[in-house]
Amino acid sequence: MQIHWPLVISTVCQRVGLGLFICAFVGQVYAGSPVPLSVMAWITLALLAVGGIASVFHLQRPQRFFNAFSNLKSHLTQEALITPFLGVALLVCALNGTLFDLGVATAFVGAVTAILAGAFLVCTGLAYQMGSRPAWNTPFVLVLFLLTALEAGAIGVAVLWLAAAGLVPTMFVVIALVSTVVCVIVQAAYVVRMRSVGYGVNVDVMEEPYRGPFVTWLAAGAVVPVVCLALVFVVPSAAVALAAVAWAASAVGIAAWTVLFFKGARKVKMFPMYPVDLNLDM
């Protein structure tokens, strides 16, 4: 599948930003937070704005945006319908404490926003589960969208907490490390599955054009975050720097994985015994 870089940027910003807000809200509820939820909301809004601008370049024509609302059963339509509500909810969270004070309603609004963020990620993941692209025709797709958001979000919260207060609950770093390891394991399982999806579209990640993004993901998305998060326990004096490197590497890893994800999404071949198949848009 041809790589649409605006779509890569958009999906990466969505997972990093929404994962950050969800993890920040959960962390605030269960452990308190040295970083106000409003700050997390502003960071999330900034990332979604970058992703939204990238999406405009991907859609190119306004008609494509309005076509997204044409089928209510489509996960793309559901994603489009959630977007304005999510944007408003995030803006309310961001302005809370400055333009107005929600008081006791703060937790409720934060919970609603986190639920909308989770629903958006679910709709996005389900939208990519396509039967016409065997590599995507698996629950792995949704699971990986959610796991990458959890990984980046948990690491991001750890970074911001460390930067703000110089410490972070040990359990949160453990969650960040475990979620990263689990994500890497599921991604590895997805890679193995791509080797035998059939229909003449098997993918070997050690061959071109897949090798580049695979190696980049392996280094930036797997090795660096796991090592840096583990070193936080060994060298606590460098915890901020190590966590920051892990967060940046996680984002780069998600981007590389998304490129591999798109490259491996080859359409079903009607006649797999021939090198050139019919040009059918299935």
Supply the range of the domain harboring residue 70.
5-263
Question: Does 281 fall in a domain?
Answer: no
Helices and strands, counts by H and E, the chain: 10, 0
> 160-192: per-residue pLDDT in tens?
999 998 888 888 899 999 999 999 999 999 999
pLDDT score of 282: 42
Whole-angstrom distance, CA of residue 246 vs CA of residue 229: 7
Q: Does residue 53 lie in a domain region?
A: yes
In a domain, 46, yes or no: yes
276, part of any domain: no
User: Which pLDDT does position 197 carry in this prediction?
Assistant: 82
Residue 197 within any structural domain of the chain: yes
Domain-embedded: residue 269: no
| pLDDT one-digit tens code per residue, 69-95 | 566 677 778 888 999 999 999 999 999
CA 62, CA 138: separation in Å to the nearest integer?
31
Which regions of the chain are under pLDDT 70? 1, 57-72, 268-282
Domain contains 268: no
Q: Model-level pTM? A: 0.89
Say what the pLDDT of residue 60 is. 54
248 within domain boundaries: yes
Q: What is the dihedral of CA 127, 130, 136, 141, to 10 degrees?
A: 30
How many structural domains are present in the chain? 1
Check which CATH number belongs to the domain holding 106 and give it: 1.20.1630.10
Orientation of helix 239-263 relative to helix 140-165, angle to 10°: 160
pLDDT at 166: 84
What is the pLDDT at residue 142?
94
